[in-house]
Amino acid sequence: MIQQEGVGWRLAWDGDRQPFSVLVGGDGWATELTTGEAEALRDAVADLMAQHAAVADQLMAEEAIELELERQPWWLAIEGDRHRWSLRVMLSPSPGQRAVEGCWAPDSALGFTQALQQLFGQP
């Protein structure tokens, strides 16, 4: 079992727990994901962070930005500035499956996204 946490976020993986082997959580909430859902989240977060990095240097210090990305089964958004941002995610799986919505505040979003990339490796 691998477990990581920081201020306002949690991330755990236990390959023996199937089908929901990954736990993600924020301030006051947590949910379990399948490995496939978690890997899809990792890939979508990496792409959203790349989009943010591509425009961050073009933003003035006081300028705010909101970026969204939809890649089934995930919808993600970041909102903030070039240095700090919050992350919101929504899982909309196939009919008859569960749905998830969660967010990480600016103080925890970067730590969570970095841990997610490290846990599953780069896409």
Structure tokens at 54: 């591509």
For residue 122, what pLDDT is reported?
52
- Report domain extents, the chain: 2-120
pTM: 0.91
Structure confidence by residue, pLDDT tens digits, 33-83: 999 999 999 999 999 999 988 888 888 777 888 999 999 999 999 999 888
For residue 63, what pLDDT is reported?
81
Q: Under CATH, which number does the domain 2-120 receive?
A: 2.30.31.10
| Rounded mean pLDDT, 11-37 | 95
Q: By CB neighbour count within 10 A (0-12 exposed, 13-18 middle, 19+ buried), where does 14 fall?
A: middle
Please state the three-class secondary structure of the chain as a single string. CEEEEECCEEEEECCCCCCCCEEEEECCEEEEECHHHHHHHHHHHHHHHHHHHHHHCCCCCCCCEEEEEEECCEEEEEEECCCCEEEEEEECCCCCCCCEEEEECHHHHHHHHHHHHHHHCCC
